[in-house]
Amino acid sequence: MPGIWNYLKSLFKEVEHSSPSQPALHELIIRSDEEQQDYEQWKEGLIRRRLLDWLSDQYAIYRVSPNDIDEALDFLDNPTSKGFVIHFYKTNYTPREVTHLFDYLKEQVLQHNYRTQISDSRIYNRPDWVETTERHYLKPRINTKTDDKLHQAYGNVMIELELHDDKVHNLRFRATSYQDRQFHEAQEFRELMGVVLG
């Protein structure tokens, strides 16, 4: 019995002192058969279409009038990183629906000569909540060389889903390009948005 008590005390201590770089729990994302079946049904449903239409409309607005986009969304646009953050805590979408969107974005990118570098989940303690961050980190399949330069497609793609106490908080999608002479310039982010929005 003392062994179990010591184990539980050490577990709680790990959680208490956990951080993004030292998570209490770090594991690969593996979806169950049931989750995969649910995901396939979600892809055929109205909620997926509504989310993608909303994101498409907001991106179109952002390109002509950045200050007029929905408050639940922000776009990132700097020389090396481009992307968006959906603040799902400002919406009524469920964790299930957002998790499916998270996996859908990954699936869309993978269809365009990308590979999964890692898909993992980290859980750690914050002062007022327990944070779970799931991420898909995707890299282009760099195998074509022309004029002694490599094609980087849209650069590396990171998709992150952040939950606070199991409540969806944010979903981040970011493409980061290589700024190196051995690479051609990354393709336009608007093309990548076309890819993920289908």
**Residue ranges covered by each domain of the chain:** 2-197
Asked whether the predicted pLDDT for residue 54 surpasses 90, the reply is yes
Give the residues across from 87 on adjacent strands. 170
What pLDDT is recorded for position 8? 40
Place 1 in a pLDDT band, splitting at 50, 70 and 90: very low
Asked whether the predicted pLDDT for residue 10 surpasses 80, the reply is no
Higher pLDDT pick, 41 / 123:
41
Asked whether the predicted pLDDT for residue 145 surpasses 70, the reply is no
Region 16-34: what's the mean pLDDT? 77
Region 91-107: what's the mean pLDDT? 97
Region 65-92: what's the mean pLDDT? 96
What pLDDT is recorded for position 147? 65
- Measured CA to CA, the distance from residue 77 to residue 125 in angstroms comes to 30
Identify residue 37 by its one-letter amino acid code: Q
Place 148 in a pLDDT band, splitting at 50, 70 and 90: confident
Asked whether the predicted pLDDT for residue 118 surpasses 80, the reply is yes
Region 68-90: what's the mean pLDDT? 96
Region 90-114: what's the mean pLDDT? 96
Place 143 in a pLDDT band, splitting at 50, 70 and 90: low
Asked whether the predicted pLDDT for residue 105 surpasses 80, the reply is yes
Q: Rounded to two decimals, what is the model's pTM?
A: 0.87
